[in-house]
């Protein structure tokens, strides 16, 4: 536990250098807002964004129900969605609920159940933050950046230091996406060399595995970045002017990444069972796609579904709300590359996305408004406390909350 706090503490020193440089250059350019005055990320649920998303949804539904059925060979396939096995569809809904439960468990393991974390986030607040973040991820593109911004905002409003939030957020993403990269590497090599059933070309098996290996190499290099090198680089940013400001920012980025990666490694070394939420998040979601294949026919080998799922998830990087359209196309294309029946793939993937994308959106919207009330309550509680007392109920400074 102490090692984790130290890593995040190193990140704090680097950011403080950035802030010092900016203050020297223009002391009046910015006035830091207090935690109680920080606004909810403005990119979330503005009227323009809601209207744009509504239009996008209407166009998407119109395409699925009016255009797609008229395409040669696809129309009959889409009309078969209503004929899927209801029991397997129900199992898919249950599996998706377990997937989101795993996400909440991982969130609590990284952000809540730590000695240097505020004690104001219980199970209900954890659910609200994660589900509200889901809405932000669904409404906006850029691989879930909206969800990250909303989650970080809520954590800061709970009383957690912004610098500690940044460190833990990187660790959280590392723990999630190490499963992603590990799956591409393991399944890609297994399929490519014939160890796993399903076959597949070099491009759909070994190439993704190579990309995953490169990602692991980059993460490993970040973890090995020595702390004294960071402190040496900090001295370059001790001056004033534009050059020092840019150097400070350049130093802060790798320092944040390094401290986040090392924090994730330390969390793994602790063998906290809550970290099983990461494989649960991915595993149960993949199982939904597997269940949808059962609902409409005979599924291909699970290793094929596994690989096609992660290759298709690259569609989240496209500038589309929640990767809508890109993920479906990517999964169907990957399944086709493995020789899976096209019609069956269309039915399974569209049904899977109906469950994984659309089903959680409504409770996510509800959680978003619940989170606003929760944060408002935190603000009222903070206002009622004596001056100098934090939301955690302690008068200790913020640095003490970071374990340094």
The string of pLDDT tens digits covering residues 38-69 is: 555 544 455 665 566 566 666 655 655 555 55
Compute the distance between CA of residue 95 and CA of residue 118 in angstroms, rounded to an integer.
31
Residue 35 within a domain: no
Nearest to 162 by CA among 32, 254, 42: 32
Residue 74 within a domain: no
Residue 69 within a domain: no
Compute the distance between CA of residue 189 and CA of residue 186 in angstroms, rounded to an integer.
6
In total, the chain counts a number of residues equal to 404
Q: Which range among 63-77, 90-104, 199-213, 347-361 shows the weakest confidence by mean pLDDT? A: 63-77
Q: What percent of the chain has pLDDT over 90?
A: 33
Position with higher pLDDT, 144 vs 204: 204
CA distances from 16 to 11, 50, 354 (A): 9, 37, 45
| Average pLDDT score over residue span 235-263 | 66
The string of pLDDT tens digits covering residues 219-244 is: 888 877 765 555 655 555 555 555 55
Compute the distance between CA of residue 195 and CA of residue 75 in angstroms, rounded to an integer.
37
- Say if CB 212 and CB 182 are below 8 A apart: yes
The residue range of the domain holding 152 is 2-27+88-384+396-401
Residue 18 within a domain: yes
Residue 262 within a domain: yes
Compute the distance between CA of residue 275 and CA of residue 102 in angstroms, rounded to an integer.
9
pLDDT at 310 over 70: yes
For position 64, what pLDDT does the model report? 54
For position 354, what pLDDT does the model report? 86
| Tokens (6 digits) for 77 | 């396939």
Q: What is the rounded average pLDDT for all residues in the chain?
A: 76
- Say if CB 229 and CB 201 are below 8 A apart: no
Residue 307 within a domain: yes
For position 249, what pLDDT does the model report? 61
Residue 264 within a domain: yes
| Average pLDDT score over residue span 379-394 | 64
Residue 49 within a domain: no
Is the full-model pTM beyond 0.75? yes
| Total count of domains within the chain | 1
| Average pLDDT score over residue span 364-374 | 89
């Amino acid at each position: 536990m102490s090692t984790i706090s130290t890593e995040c503490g190193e990140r704090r020193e680097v950011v403080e250098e950035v802030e010092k440089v900016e203050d020297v250059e223009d002391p009046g350019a910015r006035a830091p807002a207090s935690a109680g005055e920080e606004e909810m990320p403005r990119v979330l649920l503005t009227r323009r964004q809601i209207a744009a998303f509504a239009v996008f949804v209407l166009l998407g539904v119109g395409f699925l129900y009016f255009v797609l059925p008229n395409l040669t060979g696809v129309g009959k396939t889409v009309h078969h969605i209503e004929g899927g096995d209801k029991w397997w569809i129900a199992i898919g809904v249950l599996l998706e609920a377990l997937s989101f439960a795993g996400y909440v468990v991982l969130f609590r393991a990284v952000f809540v159940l730590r000695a240097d974390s505020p004690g104001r986030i219980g199970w209900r607040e954890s659910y609200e933050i994660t589900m509200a973040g889901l809405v932000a991820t669904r409404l906006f593109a850029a691989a879930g950046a909206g969800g990250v911004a909303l989650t970080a905002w809520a954590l800061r409003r709970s009383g957690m230091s912004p610098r500690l939030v940044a460190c833990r957020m990187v660790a959280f993403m590392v723990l999630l996406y190490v499963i992603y990269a590990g799956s591409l590497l393991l399944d890609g090599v297994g399929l490519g060399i014939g160890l796993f059933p399903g076959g597949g070309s070099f491009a759909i098996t070994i190439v993704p595995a190579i990309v995953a290996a490169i990602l692991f190499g980059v993460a490993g290099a970040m973890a090995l970045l020595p702390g004294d090198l960071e402190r040496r680089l900090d001295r370059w940013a001790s001056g004033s002017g534009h050059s020092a400001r840019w150097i400070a920012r350049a130093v802060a980025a790798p320092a944040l990444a390094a401290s986040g990666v090392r924090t994730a490694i330390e969390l793994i070394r602790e063998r906290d069972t809550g970290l099983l939420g990461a494989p649960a998040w991915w595993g149960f979601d993949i199982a939904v796609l597997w269940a949808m294949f059962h609902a409409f026919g005979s599924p291909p080998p699970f290793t094929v579904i596994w690989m096609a799922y992660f290759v298709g998830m690259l569609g989240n990087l496209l500038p589309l709300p929640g990767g809508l359209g890109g993920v479906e196309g990517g999964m169907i294309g990957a399944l086709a590359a493995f020789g899976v029946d096209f019609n069956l793939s269309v039915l399974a993937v569209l049904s899977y996305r109906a469950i994984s994308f659309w089903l959680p959106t409504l409770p996510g919207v509800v959680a978003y408004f619940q989170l606003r009330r929760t944060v408002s309550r935190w603000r009222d509680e903070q206002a009622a406390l004596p001056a100098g007392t934090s939301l955690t109920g302690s008068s200790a400074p913020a640095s003490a909350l970071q374990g340094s």
